[in-house]
Amino acid sequence: MSEADGRIEAAASFVLQSPPGEINDVLNDVRVIVNDDDTLEEGILPALQEYNLAQFIVVDVPGADHQTIVSSIARKLDSDGDEERFFDPRSKTSFKFDHLRLEASDAHPEEPDPDAEPLRAALEASALSYLAAHYIGGVTSVFVVQPPDNFVIQIVSNKYNPTNFWSGRWRSHYEIDLGELKTIRGEVFVNVHYYEQGNVQLETSHGLSLSIPPAVANAPPHTAASKIFALIEAEETRLQTSLNESYHEMSEKAFKGLRRALPLTRQKLDWDRILGYKLGAELTASKGAFTTAS
């Protein structure tokens, strides 16, 4: 491996570990450390793309007044396989995406799958009302992955507060099979960074799978969609409650077991006495019979 390759490999690993909303800070640091803009610009793009897709980066959709999620599900390659575009199912447009500047351009209208669209649109409507009920500034996208009855729902919620040294990101990804399997398989990731005079990070991952009752799967789109979101709502609320339980366990069992707030005596240490005990023998030896008990 050449020296430049080694530096790019390290830089890519740093970029992929960026906390929510701090990719530009990490890039600025990496730029100074690598100290070779040309090599970096050329080599870092794959890592930026991987980061953006994995982290559900959101972008303003050209010509629409909403944001969409740039993820691997939204990503489409053209027939030659060399031009990458992203699809926003809500506005039914596709666009090019600049992974460094995080901007969309060159929007084209796209034709949705006619068989899957009624159910997709119903899921999207339910997703938007679910978002309004539980997320502050979240973004959602509902994709058809296998017409007519396989969908992916993604949700991302970001809060960046650099003035108070914290940031957070919640990502949900659900694969909905309303056909043969009748299942919801989901993954939820929460990342929090708190960095005032320190660096504290919360990293959680949850996987879940549950079956969809046949009555729900076979219901008309609107009913099926709202029932599915009732299931998702229950799961995500349960997940948040279980996170609270984990906090409680970590605080009561681990934190308190690692270091006591005060010794068993409920008093701070008497350092003169500790030293008295420890050095007692030595002092006794040097002072002979004239020692006094401490």
Partner 1 sequence: MADPVDSMLDLMRRLPPSRVEENVNALIRICPDYADDLLGSVDQPLKVMTDRATGRDYLACDYNRDGDSYRSPWSNEYDPPLEEGTTPAPKLRKLEIAANEAFDTYREMYYEGGVSSVYLWELEDGGFAGVVLLKKVMNPSTVDEPSGSWDSIHVFETAERGRQARYKLTSTVMLQLVTQHTEKAEDTQAQTNGGHGWKSTGEVNLSGSMTRQTEQDWPMQDSSSHITNTGKMIEEMEIKMRNLLQEVYFGKTRDIVYDLRSVDDLDKARKQRELQKELVGFIKR
Residues 44-103 that bind partner 1 (CB under 8 A): none
105 versus 165: smaller Cβ distance to partner 1 = 165
105 versus 244: smaller Cβ distance to partner 1 = 244
Contact yes or no for 46/5 (Cβ under 8 A): no
Binder of partner 1 out of 183, 221, 222, 226 (CB under 8 A) = 183
Size of the site for partner 1 (CB under 8 A): 94
Least distance to partner 1, CB of residue 116, Å? 23
Q: What tokens appear for 32 in the block? A: 């100074």
Q: Which stretch binds partner 1 (CB under 8 A): 21-29, 73-81, 98-106, 117-125?
A: 21-29
Q: What tokens appear for 209 in the block? A: 């799978």
Least distance to partner 1, CB of residue 199, Å? 5
HSE (side-chain half, CA atoms, 13 Å) at 241: 6
- Best CA proximity match to 11, nearest among 37, 57, 84, 102: 37
Q: Which stretch binds partner 1 (CB under 8 A): 6-14, 43-51, 83-91, 99-107?
A: 6-14
φ, ψ dihedrals at 15, nearest 5°: -60, -45
72 versus 201: smaller Cβ distance to partner 1 = 201
The answer to whether 294 contacts partner 1 (rule: CB under 8 A) is: no
Least distance to partner 1, CB of residue 134, Å? 5
Residue numbers 257-286 binding partner 1 by CB under 8 A: 257-265, 268-269, 271-272, 274-275, 277-279
- Best CA proximity match to 168, nearest among 204, 207, 210: 204
201 versus 223: smaller Cβ distance to partner 1 = 201
The answer to whether 237 contacts partner 1 (rule: CB under 8 A) is: yes
- Best CA proximity match to 200, nearest among 189, 191, 187: 191
CB atoms within 10 A of CB 47: 21
Strand 138-146 and strand 183-194: pairing? unpaired
Q: What tokens appear for 216 in the block? A: 């729900």
92 versus 159: smaller Cβ distance to partner 1 = 159
The answer to whether 218 contacts partner 1 (rule: CB under 8 A) is: no
97 versus 170: smaller Cβ distance to partner 1 = 170
Least distance to partner 1, CB of residue 282, Å? 8
Residue numbers 107-146 binding partner 1 by CB under 8 A: 129, 132-136, 138
φ, ψ dihedrals at 229, nearest 5°: -70, -25
Integer angstrom CA distances of residue 114 from 110, 118, 119, 142, 218:
12, 8, 10, 15, 18
The answer to whether 21 contacts partner 1 (rule: CB under 8 A) is: no
Q: What is the DSSP letter of 110?
A: -
